[in-house]
Amino acid sequence: MIAKFYRFAALLLLAFGLPACATITTGTTQTISVLTEPPGAACTMTRDGTIMGVVNPTPGTVSLSKSSRDIAIRCTRAGNLPGVQTITPQFQGMTAGNILLGGFIGLAVDAASGAMSRYPENVIVSLPPETFASEGSREAFFTTRIADTRRLFDERLTAARSACGTDTQGCETRIQALNRERDDELALLERQRTTARISP
């Protein structure tokens, strides 16, 4: 009877300890390094309309809470057009270990705390010059930026599709959001192409 009591007590301690273990395994905060081309910009990071951090000047780092929500970065610098970028969290593989350690309790705690998601550790934001030496240099700059943006989103879409699993509706929603985000960034680059001046 005493042995059964101790076994039961041990299980209770384990159950109550699992949430702490789950969040310790992956953590609920992380640090992101923000760099800009060129450096010396002021960058604001927002999530769902709330400012999560500011880096001024770049390069610099910011510590923020993890989440399954995207973060929008907007950078400004004198002599340059604004630079924008969206960073998307990815599923953190360590959470798979939490399933083994904590079962569904560990997984639920990670999901609720945002610990199962992780943003890229390094972000580079490009700020186009306000003025170019020639039309050719302006076209070359934006042609390269547009190609890089398309390539980046192709990679993100491929990663999103590979992580779909059985949640087809959620997957489709995520892919549609990425497509809209890509189209918005491409449209911004086109507007900046026409806004950037040619030096006399």
Higher pLDDT, 98 or 186: 186
The first and second tokens of residue 101, run together, are: 């350690």
Q: Which of 43, 75, 24, 51 is nearest to 188 (CA)?
A: 75
- CA 130 – CA 162 distance, rounded (Å): 39
Instruction: State pLDDT tens for residues 50-76.
Output: 999 999 999 999 999 998 888 999 999
pLDDT tens digit string along 33-56? 999 999 999 999 999 889 999 999
- In 3D, which of 157, 119, 159, 137 has the Cα closest to residue 31? 119
**pLDDT digit string (tens) for 5-43?**
444 344 334 444 444 444 444 578 999 999 999 999 999
pTM equals 0.68
Residue 4: pLDDT over 80:
no
